[in-house]
């Protein structure tokens, strides 16, 4: 592990676009295409941070159905690893479009407020069968990419 790695500076130099770091492509936010009525499962795998870890999911031009309740908030939904079930199933609603984008951020609560996207924040996205695994770094300036590990699976 390398301390004092400030990914924010690297992302600033690319205007927020992906960066290459130690043979991995890192992102601040990931985005995936979703179909109307698609069933998706979020599975929290591990955390290793002093801060509370979570994710933010925002669907463009649509809504997300979780536990039978439709969330239409343009800010999307937040799921915290310590309070959400280990696996959360949701259904996408894309509104008038057959396909939309689901944007994924890793977030953390530092004891005072919810935060994302600065200092040491970054995600390495690993393609897996039927989905993606996310290795997340929170705001600490290090490069361990293990503060939150979760996956998103398309249910077939």
Q: What is the pLDDT of residues 123-155, one digit of tens each?
A: 999 999 999 999 999 999 999 999 999 999 999
pLDDT exceeds 90 at position 96: no
How do 131-137 and 148-154 pair as beta strands? Answer: antiparallel
pLDDT-derived band of residue 73, with 50, 70 and 90 as boundaries? Answer: confident
Asked whether the whole model's pTM tops 0.85, one would answer yes
Q: What is the pLDDT of residues 80-89, one digit of tens each?
A: 999 999 999 9
**Residue 97: its pLDDT value, please?**
81
Burial (CB count within 10 angstroms: exposed 0-12, middle 13-18, buried 19+), residue 23? exposed
**Residue 94: its pLDDT value, please?**
87
Strands (E), 28-121: 30-35, 39-47, 52-59, 63-66, 69-71, 77-80, 87-93, 99-109, 114-115
Q: What is the pLDDT of residues 13-72, one digit of tens each?
A: 999 999 999 999 999 999 999 999 999 999 999 999 999 999 999 998 889 999 899 988
61 phi, psi to nearest 5 deg: 55, 50
For the chain, give every domain's residue range.
7-154
Among residues 139, 82, 136, 104, the alpha carbon closest in space to that of 34 is found at 104
Tokens encoding 50:
């002093």
10 phi, psi to nearest 5 deg: -65, -45
Q: First vs last Cα of the chain: how many Å apart?
A: 37
| Helices (runs of H) and strands (runs of E) counted in the chain | 1, 14
**Residue 156: its pLDDT value, please?**
73
Residues 6+ apart with CB under 8 A from 85: none
**Residue 107: its pLDDT value, please?**
96
């Amino acid at each position: 592990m390398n301390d004092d790695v400030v990914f924010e500076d690297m992302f600033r130099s690319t205007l927020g676009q992906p960066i290459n770091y130690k043979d991995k492509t890192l992102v601040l936010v990931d985005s995936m295409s979703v179909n109307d009525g698609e069933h998706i499962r979020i599975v929290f795998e591990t955390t290793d941070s002093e801060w509370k870890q979570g994710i933010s999911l925002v669907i463009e031009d649509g809504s997300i159905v979780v536990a039978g309740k439709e969330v239409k908030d343009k800010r999307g939904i937040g799921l915290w690893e310590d309070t959400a079930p280990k696996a959360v199933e949701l259904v996408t609603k894309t509104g008038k479009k057959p396909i939309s984008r689901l944007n994924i951020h890793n977030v953390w609560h530092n004891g005072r407020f919810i935060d994302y996207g600065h200092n040491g924040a970054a995600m390495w996205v690993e393609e897996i069968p039927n989905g993606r695994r996310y290795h997340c770094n929170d705001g600490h300036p290090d490069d361990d990419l293990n503060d939150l590990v979760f996956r998103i699976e398309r249910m077939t």
